[in-house]
Amino acid sequence: MSQEIRVRFAPSPTGPFHIGGARSALFNWLLARKLGGKMVLRIEDTDRKRSTPESEENIKNALKWLGLDWDEGVDVGGSYGPYRQMERLDIYKKYTDRLLAEGKAYYCYCTPEELEEERQGLLKDGKMPRYMGKSDGIPTYNYAVVIDDSLMHVTHVIRAEEHLSNTPRQLLVYDALGFEKPVFGHISLILGTDHTKMSKRHGATSLDAYRQKGYIPAGLNNFLALLGWAPSGEKEIFTMEEAIREFSLERVAKNPAVFDFKKLDWINGQHIRKMTAEAFWELAVPFMEEAGYMTGSEEGAQLEWLKRVAATAQTQVDYGAQIPEKVAMYFSDDFAFENEDAAAVLREETAPVVMKALLEELKALPELNRDTVKATFKKVQKANKLKGQQVYMPVRVALTGNQHGPELAEMIPLFGLERTEKRILQSLEKAGIAL
Ligand code: GLU
């Protein structure tokens, strides 16, 4: 008696798509994909004042970007549509008529003004505002959601803990309508690191904000999956395929999940390392353009150089917006020593000898690439009977002003001979050393 699993994500298009919403969508999606079930996307747009088509678009785009596709619902259709609540008013009316005929519902003749007055009255008395009567032809959430979930044959209602208090009301509606009940699962609250409910105070809460900062779907999905769920092993970095394989409602935790930004960065960084060179380049382009490092019209050798420069950041960044600072040195020869220690490296006795020999050798090379540059460093080190550090450190400081940074054999070919020489000479001059 295996029944097809049918889950749904039912957002209200009333504002920016929240990361909590993305997590609810993800958990439903993982369950559907794991069990070969169906994922339904229903738009709950009965709040006429706050619902907008832009918000619906934003939600759909975000889901697509995350790779959370739906089998039935708005845009794709299905057997139980329409999938937008405002297009289902006649359906709700049919059931309302039935409840009225059965004496399980009654008419409310209150005007919106009267209801508002009542609401204000409750607020003034320090009470929770709530409906004291019934509505205006547009069904309330707790009513419509039951009819929709039932008619759409939803087997598992998986949603955020915020909806827990709605569930008993919905169960009453199920009873009144004589509908079979689905399984309910509420995913725990998302808290900030201070253990209060996650809000803008802690950091961005809209998915768009993360997308704009250059977080990637693989990283966000991995992180969101861990907000309230964990695979059985120790593994924290996983692909969506692995998450599908491992997902189970039994491993969804009851205690609240903490949104740890450092962890998000780490997880996203791990997924950035795994991107193809082409995908990383695509991630980098808007940030490189914004920084003024490219216009987008580059081609040929210049484009190839930009791609190689951007690629140097792939092992260093956690999200796209960090790329410009990692490649800044390739776009300006104006830099300072990071501190006095760095400048002191250049005043060591052997430094000018190294610089002179290195520049001569580099100029004699038929081609400047990682291998030839590496070999040149070795040659200079051997010829002058020096330790590795005595060669690499002054060159690094002279080239960048810093004592740490990417591999020199990677940097020098990207600077090219002319800029390598310019940067070294400029630094020596600043440190008061003559070659
Ligand atoms: N439309 C509701 C919301 O966006 C969700 C309803 C539900 O999942 O039951 O909060």
Range with lowest mean pLDDT among 6-20, 71-85, 190-204: 190-204
Which ligand 1 atom is the nearest neighbour of the CA of 160?
8
Looking at the chain, the whole-number percentage of residues with pLDDT higher than 90 is 87
Question: Ligand 1 in contact with 44 (CB < 6 A)?
Answer: yes
**Given CA atoms 136, 160, 191, 317 in this order, what sign does their dihedral have?**
negative
The residues facing 186 across adjacent strands are: 159
Q: Ligand 1 pocket, 145 CB below 6 A?
A: yes
- Residue 3: pLDDT band (50, 70, 90) is confident
User: In 67-165, where does DSSP find H-type helix?
Assistant: 89-101, 112-124, 141-151
The ligand 1 atom at the shortest distance from the C-alpha of residue 24 is: 8
Residue 11 CA to ligand 1 center (angstroms) comes to 5
* Average pLDDT of the segment spanning 83-100: 95
Q: Could you confirm whether 326 is annotated as catalytic?
A: no
Cα(166) to centroid of ligand 1, in Å?
A: 10
pLDDT for 138 equals 78
Measured from the CA of 8, which atom of ligand 1 is nearest? Answer: 8
The yes-or-no verdict on residue 130 having pLDDT over 70 is no
Ligand 1 centre to CA of 168 (Å) is 15
Q: What pLDDT score does 195 carry? A: 92
Residue 117 confidence (pLDDT) above 90: no
Q: How far is CA 152 from CA 74, 86, 145, 334, in A?
A: 13, 16, 10, 63
- Does residue 137 sit in helix, strand or coil? coil
The contacts of residue 77 (CB under 8 Å, 6+ apart) are 83
- Please tell me the least confidently modeled range out of 56-60, 129-133, 199-203, 240-244: 129-133
The answer, yes or no, to whether residue 137 has pLDDT greater than 80, is: no
Confidence of residue 126 (pLDDT cuts 50, 70, 90): confident
What is the SS3 assignment for 157? strand
Ligand 1 centroid from CA 155, angstroms? 16
Give me the pLDDT at residue 1, please: 42
Task: Return the best residue to mutate from 44, 166, 186 for the ligand 1 pocket (most ligand atoms within 8 A of CB).
Answer: 44
pLDDT (0 to 100) of residue 136:
65
Where does the pLDDT of residue 106 fall: very low under 50, low under 70, confident under 90, or very high at 90 and above?
confident
163 C-beta closer than 6 A to ligand 1: yes
Cβ neighbourhood burial of 333 (10 Å; 0-12, 13-18, 19+): exposed
Cβ atoms of residues 192 and 258 within 8 Å:
yes
**Each residue's pLDDT tens digit, 154-186:** 999 999 999 999 999 999 999 999 999 999 999
pLDDT, tens digit (0-9, with 9 covering 90-100), for 276-317: 999 999 999 999 999 999 999 999 999 999 999 999 999 999
pTM above 0.85, yes or no: yes
Mean pLDDT of the 224-229 span: 96
Number of the ligand 1 atom closest to the C-alpha atom of 166: 9
Q: Which atom of ligand 1 is nearest to the CA of 11?
A: 4
Catalytic residue among 49, 200, 262, 385: 200
Residue with tokens 């798509």: 17
How far, in Å, from the CA of 410 to the mean position of ligand 1? 51
11 C-beta closer than 6 A to ligand 1: yes
**Ligand 1 geometric centre to CA of 10 (Å):** 5
Q: Specify whether the CB–CB gap between 312 and 405 falls below 8 A.
A: no
Residue 435: the pLDDT is 76
Task: Give the residue, out of 18, 56, 142, 163, with the most ligand 1 atoms within 8 A of its beta carbon, to mutate for a pocket test.
Answer: 163
Instruction: Choose which residue among 6, 43, 141, 189 to substitute to test ligand 1 binding: the one with the highest number of ligand atoms within 8 A of its C-beta.
Output: 141
* pLDDT surpasses 70 at 348: yes
Q: Is 10 in the pocket of ligand 1 (CB under 6 A)?
A: yes
Output the residue whose Cα is nearest ligand 1's atom 6.
Answer: 10
pLDDT of residue 134: 87
The pLDDT, as a whole number, for residue 112 is 80
Q: Judge whether 40 and 152 are in contact, CB under 8 Å.
A: yes
Tell me the Ramachandran region of residue 260: left when phi exceeds 0, alpha when psi lies from -120 to 50, beta otherwise: beta
What percent of the chain is modeled with pLDDT above 70?
98
Q: What distance in Å separates the CA atoms of residue 73 and residue 92, rounded to the nearest whole number?
A: 18
Amino acid identity, residue 325? Answer: E
Residue 192 one-letter amino acid: G
Q: pLDDT at position 132, please? A: 56
CA of 8 to the centre of ligand 1 (A): 10
Asked if 206 and 216 count as a contact pair (C-beta separation under 8 A), the reply is no
Residue 397 — pLDDT band, cuts 50, 70, 90?
very high
Q: Is the CB of 12 under 6 A from ligand 1?
A: yes
> Which ligand 1 atom lies nearest to the CA of residue 145?
9
Which H or E run includes 191? strand 190-191
> Confidence class of residue 131 from pLDDT cuts 50, 70 and 90?
low
Amino acid at 220: L
